[in-house]
Amino acid sequence: MLGLIGLALAILFFDQLAAIGQWGRLIGFLIGSTYFGLMEGHAGRCQSLGKQALKIKVIRCDADGIATLGVTQACLRYAIVAVPTVLGGIAFVDLPALNSPHEAWISRVNSFAVFLWGAALVYLLAFNRPSRQSLQDLAVSSLVVRVSTKQVRVVQVRRKHWVALGAFAGLILLASPFVNRYLASKLTELDQIQRATLTVPSVMRSGVTMSSIRHVGSSGDAPRTVTIISVVSGSPMLQTEQGTHAIARAAFGAWPMLANQDIVTIVSVRGADLGIASWRTQFVESWPGRQWASKMTSP
């Protein structure tokens, strides 16, 4: 239900939401907080529409036994899940300075935190038995039970689960510098293209992928090299041939060897992202690398 509400808003207010970029996730977060706060925390309802269909409910365990959640507790419970999944940590802060390659370390730290946060949510849900309380439940002493449940017994999270999560976080933390250094040495060209395309006016984010494709049954032929440059913009002007050619000029100027690629595809995306739902349009232009020179018109 929440996703349908978000999708309807993304379609109806597409232009406005596309213009604000990732800030739209904050709107989705507030919509979700209101929805779960009212459905699970107001007047002792304890159930969202999805939980009603599954015949389960959220209750709170206190000294007197089973109790209902308040609005604040229901909102907090939702927020602990939504910060990594809807907001993406601080990824919704869509400022040019944060999207700059020079500030890439901020994005990496955020990605690391969001990944661990999400992993902890999933791990505890799967392995913290019998209660299956995850972080959001532990924060507000809540429990998801069947509607017919009259009595519950809460078991403390076993120490081994915290040890496992800590060990996993430590392993990722130790391995990250080596992985980043290896990727940086292998992806120099992609980084140059990304930096160049980010200088094109109205480009908010940019991504580059390179791959080799071999068709089935053509083992004797050399694989085809394909480069895909995807940019996200808040302006419809980049979803035209002129806009695509501006991106191409920046990319080929940064790495002229793109002309040797069998296929170079440029995808200009304009989307409304609420975190709980999204809607997007895109403009695609694809040519062999050597043909792009004749396609790129002067500004």
Residue 247 is predicted with a pLDDT of 93
191 and 143 in a common domain: no
Same structural domain, 35 and 171: yes
Greater confidence (95 vs 75) lies with 75
pLDDT per position as a tens digit, 19-73:
888 899 999 999 999 999 999 988 778 889 989 999 999 998 876 778 889 999 9
Asked if the structure places residue 54 within a domain, the reply is yes
Residues 90, 18, single domain; the answer is: yes
What residues contact 289, with CB distance under 8 A and at least 6 apart? 227, 258, 259, 260, 261, 262, 263, 264
The model's pLDDT over 111-141, given as tens digits with 9 standing for 90+, comes to: 899 999 999 999 999 999 888 999 999 999 9
User: What is the per-residue pLDDT across 244-292, written as a single tens digit (0 to 9) for each?
Assistant: 999 999 999 999 999 999 999 999 999 999 999 999 999 999 999 999 9
- Is the pLDDT assigned to residue 87 strictly greater than 90? yes
CB 234 within 8 A of CB 202: yes
- Within 10 angstroms of residue 278's Cβ, the number of other Cβ atoms is 17
How far apart (Å, rounded) are the C-alpha atoms in residues 194 and 242? 19
| Together in a domain, 161 and 209 | no
**Contact residues for 162 (Cβ-Cβ < 8 A; gap 6+):** none
Domain span at 25:
1-185
Does residue 41 sit within a domain? yes
CB 156 within 8 A of CB 101: no
Same domain, 152 and 255: no
Are 120 and 261 members of one domain? Answer: no
Assess whether 52 and 162 both reside in one domain: yes
Cα torsion 274, 279, 281, 286: sign: positive
The predicted pLDDT at position 118 comes to 95
Average pLDDT (164-181) is 88
In this prediction, residue 94 carries a pLDDT of: 77
In-domain check, residue 159:
yes
pLDDT at 185: 73
The answer to whether residue 218 is domain-embedded is no
Asked if 184 and 191 count as a contact pair (C-beta separation under 8 A), the reply is yes
Task: State residue 177's pLDDT score.
Answer: 82
Task: Pick the closest to residue 203 from 229, 181, 185 (CA basis).
Answer: 229
pLDDT of residue 35: 94
Task: Please report whether residue 219 resides in a domain.
Answer: no
User: Looking at the domain assignment, is residue 161 inside a domain?
Assistant: yes
| DSSP H or E segment with residue 36 | helix 24-41
Q: 161 and 239: one domain?
A: no
Q: Does residue 144 form part of some domain?
A: yes
Based on the fold, state whether residues 193 and 178 are members of the same structural domain. Answer: no
The pLDDT assigned to 221 comes to 66
For residue 103, tell me if it sits in a domain: yes
Tens digits of per-residue pLDDT, 192-220? 898 899 889 988 888 899 888 766 555 55
Judge if 205 and 114 occupy the same domain.
no
Indicate the pLDDT class of residue 89, thresholds 50, 70 and 90. Answer: very high
Rounded to 5 degrees, φ, ψ at 41 are -125, -5
My answer on whether 44 and 108 are in the same domain is yes
Q: Are residues 121 and 193 in the same domain?
A: no
- In the chain, the number of structural domains is 2
CA nearest to 2, candidates 114, 78, 80:
78
